[in-house]
Structure 1
């Protein structure tokens, strides 16, 4: 298990790694050492079922869960009772879309989602379409930002829910959620956001953003895998999708795993405490990478807005380069293709297509993620390898 070691209250990079240097922080993050330490007692002596209310073992489990819930709520400026634990952001997104559409009032049968949403949002919307829901894919401009003019045109009193990701998982752009929420609320629609790539990485305030629902993922912010949460504002009508023992106030049945909740909560606490430092760290690495590419003279394209973005994500294309060969030349670095969500089925990224990136260029794209353990030396090794690989292909084409 890979862990990141935290100092007194700030994280320091782990020791030198063996094998590829990790640049895929949008896919997952290593577990914080302090989060792991906080989890361990709930795997040993504090093993009780947190829903057992008649003895100390149950009380200990519940106490750990309660603290975790408070910490996650604090991270996004919510109330603890507005946080429901579940398995991850995919389940949270399913619950948000299906649950709201099931409980939508008469005459509200429309769902609007951005065309660049994560696959779990798009596929859930497609499923709802087979059940009679009218789904609209909201277009984005060439920078990846939602077209607010298009949203204004498509909103009406029949829209039950608008779902737009705060930080895009593939290109890192930050959407104008407060403006989106204001427009949606003017028509009586609810607003949901997949915040898996945002919470713990940029400041998030669900009240200021005007959100009614939001999805969170532990393993995107240095917590354990297998645990996530959904924020549901008080009084928002939503239908449960998993029924059983009535846990989590009946919204999501199933016995909670206190060790996962506690790890998530500790990771959220750490993230909140060092948010500014983390942002400054990844911005410096982003600048270093982009400056190196600019000074090199190679042709490259940054995908997504260069101002409205999370700088821990750099999605970059190299026109005229064979993408498969480029990835093969970068075996010493854990980076992902720009078509990460579609590469397994041989398709070009629909996110890049939405931005108007040509298919050949989209195939020659890298998503480079920076995190707490990434160093300037790591970035230099990675950029040197990319420049060498791109130049080798370019020179070969001249012969």
Structure 2
């Protein structure tokens, strides 16, 4: 492979390439099995059955019942559905971590305009929630606590089970954004105490434009955001994205079988990459060094702007934070919440590895990064 002309992709947290096996499973549903699954005829019922199989595969991956899942266009819609659609009662207080994805933060900001009070929970320098502070922040008015499982920028993993215990003791519900975790690490929503959990297929080798929302059956039905033909129990109306759902199910099935082997391979590559980067003068890691997902490293390279590094890397795809906010050159709100000053914040890059990352990719990226640093530091 000619590394000079090929894309070396180290931005798996932004999106993953579609696995060929997933694509192969999806293709018939574009041309041969194209019936509307809501149709009453045999053709439609056959497609509906395949959707139910895909739903079972996803449920098996996260430890829930198939009937606990609602298909969406992705995690952002699922988050909006969960936060804006949670049943109304007397409680008007929401707690969310300051390091949540902007989809969660934006929904909370919106609800603040409708009479809700929102507490933004700080994190420490490692990006971790203070459980005592969470305990102190919860009141009898708290309805919802929003804490993500794996941070998309730093890979930091929160103790969701402990957070769930605190949340439930107060009678509140827990929304856990697991978009960066599903398909990468084991998840059991029941054991972990998660009440509402959004996810997106394109983060674990499925297609874009399809996601799902797990909802604890003990939670009363969510108020729908989309009204129409009463599909999915009226919670999310609209003709189902059949190829997308089939792809989501296929990606879930593959992840369930291959997750552990993938973790071993990717962990070794990330460890070598990070160790090599830390040998460069001044470089340091953002986020907890142990409570972190195995595919992600977020490092500061002092005195070099991350945008300059990204442009100089050319055919090597890395990022400076969340893909959803990378169009701006503002300091990362996540790193800012972790106490990083703007100077170092603007020098942070995220490298995230995945299923198709090779040792050659890592060697080539390290060689290029070191050359660029030498050139820029002059």
Shift of 1:41: 1.2
Could you tell me which of 61, 74, 77 is aligned with 1:91? 77
Say whether residues 1:248 and 2:232 are aligned partners.
yes
Select between 323-332 and 250-259 the one with higher mean Cα deviation. 323-332
Say whether residues 1:239 and 2:223 are aligned partners.
yes
Assess if the C-alpha contact under 8 Å between 1:340 and 1:349 holds in 2.
no
Shift of 1:17: 10
Say whether residues 1:173 and 2:156 are aligned partners.
yes
Alignment of 1:64-103 (within 5 A): 64-100=50-86, 103=87
1:56/1:258 Cα in 2 relative to 1: closer, same or farther (>3 Å)? same
Alignment of 1:378-397 (within 5 A): 378-394=361-377, 396=378
Assess if the C-alpha contact under 8 Å between 2:72 and 2:210 holds in 1.
yes
CA distance in 2, matches of 1:17, 1:328: 15
Q: Which residue of 2 aligns with 1:213?
A: 196
CA distance in 1, matches of 2:266, 2:4: 19
Q: Which runs of 5+ in 2 are unaligned?
A: none
Q: After the TM superposition, which parts of structure 1 deviate over 6 Å for at least 4 consecutive aligned residues? A: 14-17
Q: Which residue of 1 aligns with 2:282?
A: 299
Assess if the C-alpha contact under 8 Å between 2:61 and 2:256 holds in 1.
yes
Q: Which residue of 1 aligns with 2:211?
A: 228
CA distance in 2, matches of 1:166, 1:74: 19
CA distance in 1, matches of 2:116, 2:4: 49
Assess if the C-alpha contact under 8 Å between 1:201 and 1:221 holds in 2.
yes
Assess if the C-alpha contact under 8 Å between 1:157 and 1:187 holds in 2.
yes
| 3-state SS of paired residue (1:31) | coil
CA distance in 2, matches of 1:34, 1:217: 18
CA distance in 2, matches of 1:339, 1:50: 35
Q: Which residue of 1 aligns with 2:26?
A: 39
Q: Which residue of 1 aligns with 2:252?
A: 268
CA distance in 2, matches of 1:150, 1:79: 33
Could you tell me which of 262, 268, 272 is aligned with 1:284? 268
CA distance in 1, matches of 2:32, 2:251: 22
| 3-state SS of paired residue (1:216) | strand
Shift of 1:336: 0.7
Assess if the C-alpha contact under 8 Å between 2:14 and 2:322 holds in 1.
no
Shift of 1:374: 0.4
| 3-state SS of paired residue (1:144) | coil
CA distance in 2, matches of 1:198, 1:86: 18
CA distance in 1, matches of 2:157, 2:334: 14
CA distance in 2, matches of 1:282, 1:156: 42
Say whether residues 1:111 and 2:97 are aligned partners.
no
Say whether residues 1:367 and 2:336 are aligned partners.
no
Post-superposition Cα deviations, 1:124-154, rounded to whole Å, max 9, x if no partner, equal 1101111111111111111001121210111
Shift of 1:345: 3.0
Select between 144-153 and 81-90 the one with higher mean Cα deviation. 144-153
CA distance in 2, matches of 1:127, 1:265: 32
CA distance in 2, matches of 1:324, 1:257: 36
Q: Which residue of 1 aligns with 2:293?
A: 310
| 3-state SS of paired residue (2:197) | strand
Assess if the C-alpha contact under 8 Å between 2:277 and 2:283 holds in 1.
yes
CA distance in 1, matches of 2:353, 2:139: 40
Could you tell me which of 5, 30, 47 is aligned with 1:61? 47
What TM-score does the superposition give when structure 2 sets the normalisation length? 0.96
Assess if the C-alpha contact under 8 Å between 1:342 and 1:348 holds in 2.
no
CA distance in 1, matches of 2:173, 2:12: 30
CA distance in 2, matches of 1:219, 1:95: 19
Shift of 1:340: 4.7
Say whether residues 1:345 and 2:328 are aligned partners.
yes
Q: Which residue of 1 aligns with 2:118?
A: 135
1:18/1:274 Cα in 2 relative to 1: closer, same or farther (>3 Å)? farther
Post-superposition Cα deviations, 1:354-390, rounded to whole Å, max 9, x if no partner, equal 1111111111111101011101110011011111111
Post-superposition Cα deviations, 1:94-127, rounded to whole Å, max 9, x if no partner, equal 0110111xx1322x11111111011111011101
Shift of 1:339: 6.3
Could you tell me which of 139, 145, 152 is aligned with 1:156? 139
